[in-house]
Amino acid sequence: MKDRTRTGGWARTAGVALLLTVMGAGGAGYAAARGGAPAQAAPSSFSPLDALDEASQACLSCHEMEGMSVIFVDGIEVDVQVDPEAFASSVHAQAGLGCQTCHVGIDDYPHPEVTQTRLQWVLEQQHVCAWCHSAGDDFHLGAHGRALSLGDPDVPNCTTCHGDAHAIQPVATPAFRAGIVDTCASCHADDELMTAHGVRTGTVPSYLAEFHGLTASLLKEKGATIPVAVCSDCHGAHAILPADDPSSSVFVTNLAATCRRCHPDATNAFATAWSMHDNPERHPLVGGIAWFYRIVTGISVLGFLGYIALERAHQRRERTRRGA
């Protein structure tokens, strides 16, 4: 996957650079609107750990140490070290949550015995997220959440996308946004995994080859904010549904509204005339035209190179003739 996003190719880079020049001013405005102001530096004497409640500090007195682990009933062994600094700077510690807000039922050591498999245990811990976030309920209505409740280990859960449960960061940051495509691609670019689940393959390479995807990968390499659509802008983040589900944000009659989030004038024709994932079955004509252009471009480039070669050969001959 990494390889695929990194191989630029001069033609692609040049094309995107041109497009970026055209949209340059808009992109900068967007970055500023998204909160580009520099964060105020904290006074150096302040340690974020001081802000943690006493109970959490007591938990961390053990859990900051290396080398301890828990073994689940399916034999999976997991390290129980928690990085105090990372936790202290997470959104949750900053909002005043302590360890026991999420880990209810653990007050002391020894802890109650663990009687679940790793997956069951993680899902139980993550049920807590829905106490405070509607994202939790939305997620369970979506394709991933439904498969997860049936015990499918191949779908993402909260921490697959938001990172370590003890270091969760705000989502409205350029860094989080820049990581979304890679997160989806970590599974959706795996054809074998997708075929095993009956999900269409080829969605990641086709995204990376279209306007939004090309621009997003270039901006990501530059570390800039990404205003163009990433996977979750069209599919949603939590209640992600199959495309033929009438409630899906990409269902044919909902698609224009999805585009209008960023293209205020988008009509049904704008939304549906263009094949998002280069689906040749649905859009044989578009596929055909794409191939036509590839061939024409190839022939033009070859012709151009041939022209240069002939021109140079001609000049060399002229020089030799004049020299003689």
DSSP bridge partners of 78: 70
CB of 307 to ligand HEC, least distance (A): 32
**Residues of span 116-145 touching ligand HEC by CB under 6 A:** 122, 125-126, 128-129, 131-133, 135-136, 139, 143-144
* CA proximity to 140, closest of 128, 116, 157, 153: 157
- The smaller minimum CB distance to ligand HEC, of residues 12 and 200, is found at 200
CB of 309 to ligand HEC, least distance (A): 36
* CA proximity to 195, closest of 205, 183, 203: 203
CB of 10 to ligand HEC, least distance (A): 21
100 is a contact residue toward ligand HEC (CB under 6 A): yes
> Looking at residue 34, what DSSP letter applies?
T
CB of 288 to ligand HEC, least distance (A): 16
88 is a contact residue toward ligand HEC (CB under 6 A): no
Rounded CA Rg of the chain = 26
- The smaller minimum CB distance to ligand HEC, of residues 61 and 315, is found at 61
C-beta separation of 76 from 117 below 8 A: yes
DSSP bridge partners of 79: 69
State which of residues 14, 17, 51, 91 lies at the interface with ligand HEC (CB under 6 A). 91
76 is a contact residue toward ligand HEC (CB under 6 A): no
* CA dist., res. 92 & res. 53, Å (int): 12
State which of residues 214, 217, 218, 227 lies at the interface with ligand HEC (CB under 6 A). 227
* CA proximity to 49, closest of 21, 18, 6, 82: 82
State which of residues 17, 32, 33, 78 lies at the interface with ligand HEC (CB under 6 A). 78
Spell out, one character per residue from 6 to 35, where the chain touches ligand HEC: x when CB under 6 A holds, - when not.
-----------------x------------
* CA dist., res. 81 & res. 33, Å (int): 38
* CA dist., res. 312 & res. 318, Å (int): 10
292 is a contact residue toward ligand HEC (CB under 6 A): no
- The smaller minimum CB distance to ligand HEC, of residues 13 and 173, is found at 173
89 is a contact residue toward ligand HEC (CB under 6 A): no
Three-state DSSP state, 70: strand
**Residues of span 252-291 touching ligand HEC by CB under 6 A:** 255, 258-259, 261-263, 270-271, 274-277, 279
* CA dist., res. 119 & res. 122, Å (int): 5
Joined together, the tokens standing for residue 314 give 């001609």
